[in-house]
Amino acid sequence: MGEVTALNPVLRVAQALQEPKAVTEKRDAAWKLYESLEVPRLEKTDLRRVAWEVGEFEPSEAAIPESALAYVRGIAHSYALVVDGLVREIRLAAEAKEKGISLLAIQEACEAHPEIWNRHFGSIVPAEEAKWTALNMALFAGGVFVHVPRGVELEQPVEVVYVWTGRPFSACSRSLVVTDPLSRLRYAETTFAADGGRFVNSHVLEVFAGQASRVEVAMADEWSKGGIHFVTRRAKTDNDAEIDWVVADTSDGQAVETIESALVGQGSRSLTRVMGLGHGRAHVEITASMRHVGRHTESEISMNGALRDRANVIFRSRTQIEKGAVGAGSEQHDRMIMVDGTARADAIPMLLIDENDVERCGHAASVGKIDPMQVYYLMSRGIPQSVAVQMIIWGYLRDSVEALPTDAMRDLVVSRVERELAR
């Protein structure tokens, strides 16, 4: 490894975290890979003007915004608070502690749970996959490790609250969630992000759902203006495991996001719900992906979005049924509604089928303006036009909001949506 210089941010992060040598060596290899990889080309997002600036990492003592602080102080279940890429606080609730749940900073898991770490860390989202996953592996400096033992069912969720105060640093958070057989977990991520300078941020979540376990993952994202955010969330299932995703995105920045389930185990299933409200000059590209590998696997994707101002949002549903995935079944539903004529939307369904014996596989996608007859009908009942429009939009979004695991998350997303709709 090289010397500690401004050109070697890997060692700055490693020294700040006082982590095991094995982790630093993994970072160093990923950094060299990151520097060697070309900037990728995406079909719908132009990356040529992206400043791949990573900034200089320094432990942050920045004050937490009042809105985020009030949200955290209202949490009664297990949570971790991550500020500017560093875990500032972890609290394990009594129920989780009694049941043997592990919740700790991601780099600590290398020594606390070496067998799980070596088996899963970086195997679900490898550094070699893309320039931004290599960047994440090199600089990850926040995130948690969650482990649920065999047969344990946790009623209350485990939540990670990410706060970015606007520092121009690539806060590459990374988390690993592992559930043993016959267990159940609800895991949530909530984002509060201030606008910042030009930088690139890569966020990674890896989930391994053990045999016959059930994992529900929920996100309330609001990526900020300034840099570009690459978000990779991926789960891998064992036999008969279930993984459900709920994403509520109200970003006003530039983001490229992937939510993927790799249905490797026989009889495993997955459901992905995405709710997006694009506003301002947001450019958000979200891909919900299901990869069927095991036999008799089931999946469903439902994406609903509303756009206003000059937002540009791409919803891409992707289902891949690999050779040997006998009896697989999958459905896709993408619906996007345009509030303003200046917004732009793309709904792109994709079916990639390499197996003849498929149970079912279908898709439906639509992009359109609000139906004026629906608005007229509501106005004829004495409802003002602006309220009628909001009611129709909520008709698109509400199912995903209702699927969020806590009242606080639902209230937060509702307030973010209503704030933008009221402008």
Q: Which pLDDT value is given to residue 18?
A: 86
Higher confidence at residue 60 or residue 42? 42
The answer for 64, left when phi > 0, alpha when psi is -120 to 50, beta otherwise, is beta
297 neighbors 325 (Cβ within 8 angstroms): yes
- For residue range 331-387, what is the model confidence (pLDDT) as tens digits? 999 999 988 889 998 999 999 999 999 999 999 888 988 888 999 999 999 999 989
Q: Please give the Cα distance from 399 to 182 (Å, whole number).
A: 28
Give the closest residue to 187 by CA, choosing from 148, 231, 240.
148
Alpha-carbon distance of 232 to 269, in angstroms, equals 20
> Is the predicted pLDDT of residue 1 greater than 50, yes or no?
no
Is 390 within 8 Å of 233 (Cβ atoms)?
Answer: no
Q: Tell me if 156 sits within 8 A of 127, measured CB to CB.
A: no
Asked if 221 and 191 count as a contact pair (C-beta separation under 8 A), the reply is yes
**Rounded Cα–Cα distance for residues 113 and 335 (Å):** 43
Give the chain's mean pLDDT.
Answer: 92
Cα 150 from Cα 156, distance rounded (Å)? 17
**Token representation of residue 167:** 């520092």
Report pLDDT for 119: 96
**Is the model's pLDDT at 3 over the cut of 60?**
no
Chain segment 294-318, per-residue pLDDT in tens: 999 999 999 999 998 899 999 999 9
Q: How far apart are CA 385 and CA 136, in angstroms?
A: 46
When mean pLDDT is compared over 10-14, 263-267, 279-283, 373-377, the highest value belongs to 263-267
- Tell the burial category of 418 from Cβ atoms under 10 Å away from its Cβ (0-12, 13-18, 19+): exposed
Over 50: is that where the pLDDT of 34 sits? yes
Residue 198 CA to residue 50 CA, distance in Å, equals 8
In whole angstroms, what is the distance from residue 366 CA to residue 345 CA? 10
The model carries a pTM of: 0.94
Distance from C-alpha of 174 to C-alpha of 327, rounded to nearest angstrom: 34
pLDDT tens-digit series, residues 204-220: 999 999 999 999 999 99
Quick one: how far is CA 191 from the chain centroid?
10
Instruction: List Cα–Cα distances, 44 to 50, 90, 198, 284, 316, in angstroms.
Output: 14, 38, 20, 10, 10
Residue located via tokens 């979005």: 305
Phi-psi sector, 302: left (phi>0), alpha (psi -120 to 50), beta: beta
Neighbours of 322 (CB within 10 A): 16
pLDDT at residue 167, as a whole number: 76
The pLDDT of residue 253: 87
Question: Among 18-32, 80-94, 163-177, 278-292, which stretch is predicted with the lowest mean pLDDT?
Answer: 163-177
- Give the burial class of 112: count Cβ atoms within 10 A of its Cβ; 0-12 exposed, 13-18 middle, 19 or more buried: middle
- Helix then strand then coil, in percent of the chain rounded to 5, is 25, 40, 35
Of 116, 96, 119, 100, whose CA–CA distance to 108 is shortest? 116
Residue 360's CB is within 10 A of a number of other CB atoms, namely 10
d(CA 269, CA 238): 10
CA distance 170 to 215: 29
Give the N- to C-terminal CA distance of the chain in Å, as an integer.
52
